[in-house]
Amino acid sequence: MIEFLKCKICEGPLVFNMDATVNSYMDPEGYNVEDINKFAQQMVQEYMSFTCNSCGVNVRLTIRDMEKTVRDEAVKMAVTMVSRDMLLVDGVNLSRKVMVYCGGCNGFDGKGSCFVNIYNECDLKRLPNVD
């Protein structure tokens, strides 16, 4: 999940800063031993500290911030794959699985249909169908 986190200033990769995160959890007014369970639950809801490898800026993110970033990245990847005709269904490129009928020739299936990637490149579909 962390690999998708980028600095908003320079787009450099963010690296988890364990020391800064632990120090932020160790509030001087903090917690005593009896409150450790409550502390652990609250800690999960707080932010974690990251440092940009490129510009050195410190960034604080919550788990929700990180999850949103990862989900946004997944959506971008899906849109890119669909727009570039790279969508995989059951491990097979969708353009090699879905057939389109045009009737300009016998087609790949012998009935006038070809796979999407062949149909998209075909010059015969542009010609008038003459019987």
pLDDT tens digits, 53-76:
899 999 989 888 889 988 998 888
The domain boundary, picked from 69, 84, 99, lies at 84
User: 51 pLDDT exceeds 90?
Assistant: yes
User: 30 pLDDT exceeds 80?
Assistant: no
For residues 96 and 71, state if they share a domain: no
User: 22 pLDDT exceeds 60?
Assistant: yes
For residues 42 and 98, state if they share a domain: no
For residues 69 and 96, state if they share a domain: no
The pLDDT tens digits for 72-90 are 988 888 777 666 666 555 6
pLDDT of the residue at 97: 66
Mean pLDDT for all residues in the chain: 77
Residue 118 lies in a domain: yes
pLDDT band with cut points at 50, 70 and 90 for residue 27: low
For residues 38 and 95, state if they share a domain: no
For residues 72 and 94, state if they share a domain: no
State the residue range of the domain holding 29: 2-84
For residues 9 and 51, state if they share a domain: yes
Contacts of 102 (CB under 8 A, 6+ apart): 112, 113, 114, 119, 122, 124, 125
Residue 20 lies in a domain: yes
Using CA atoms, how far apart are residues 106 and 125, in angstroms rounded to an integer? Answer: 12
User: 113 pLDDT exceeds 70?
Assistant: yes
Residue 131 lies in a domain: no
Question: What total number of domains does the chain contain?
Answer: 2
For residues 55 and 95, state if they share a domain: no
**pTM of the prediction?**
0.51
Residue 17's SS3 state is coil
pLDDT of the residue at 50: 92
For residues 8 and 72, state if they share a domain: yes
